[in-house]
Every structure is written in C-alpha cells, then in structure tokens.
C-alpha cells in the first residue's frame, strides 16, 4: 500500500483496495473515509486533512515530461 506518515503523530496513513484510508499507530488501526469519518477499527481518531491527501485524487504534475520524454510545454 502507498501511504504517508503524519509529521506530528507519526501515524501511518494508507489507502486500501476499497478507496478508504487505513490509519495505524502503536499497534492499533482504524479505517476512515477520505473525509475522515470513522468506519471501523479500534483507532477512532484521525487527521481528516491527511485522509484527503492519501485517499484523494492523484493529479498528474504538468511540470513532468510525458512518456515519450518530451516536455508537455513546447
């Protein structure tokens, strides 16, 4: 799974196969929506901003080159 570690709490935020965010810290975990609403699990608190970052849409960076190695801006 891809994810991020929260800079303050050190909790790990990962996206699951269903598009929800799994938050793990100190051996416990919880599952949340991308908006931070608790769905299931022992861990019941999260940072909704981090849930949005991890589970939100992945937008391509316009500054990166395309697959052919050409710059997107001519």
User: Tell me: the pLDDT tens digits for 17-72?
Assistant: 999 999 999 999 999 999 999 999 999 999 999 999 999 887 877 776 555 555 55
Count of domains observed in the chain: 1
C-alpha pair distances (Å), 72 with each of 58, 61, 66, 69: 18, 10, 6, 9
Q: What is the pTM of this model?
A: 0.77
Asked if the structure places residue 41 within a domain, the reply is yes
Q: Which range marks the domain in which residue 35 is found?
A: 3-55
Predicted pLDDT of residue 1: 62
Q: Which residue has the tokens 């891809």?
A: 2
Residue 32 near residue 50, CB atoms below 8 Å: no
Asked if the structure places residue 32 within a domain, the reply is yes
Asked if the structure places residue 16 within a domain, the reply is yes
Asked if the structure places residue 65 within a domain, the reply is no
Asked if the structure places residue 30 within a domain, the reply is yes
Task: Determine if residue 45 is left, alpha or beta; phi over 0 gives left, psi from -120 to 50 gives alpha, anything else beta.
Answer: beta
More confident residue, 18 or 1: 18
Predicted pLDDT of residue 70: 55
């Amino acid at each position: 799974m891809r994810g991020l570690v929260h800079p303050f709490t050190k909790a790990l935020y990962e996206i699951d196969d269903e598009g929800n965010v799994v938050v793990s810290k100190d051996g416990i975990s919880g599952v949340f929506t991308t908006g931070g609403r608790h769905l299931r699990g022992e861990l019941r608190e999260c940072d909704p901003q981090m849930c949005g970052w991890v589970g939100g849409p992945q937008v391509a960076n316009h500054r990166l080159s395309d697959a052919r190695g050409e710059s997107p801006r001519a």
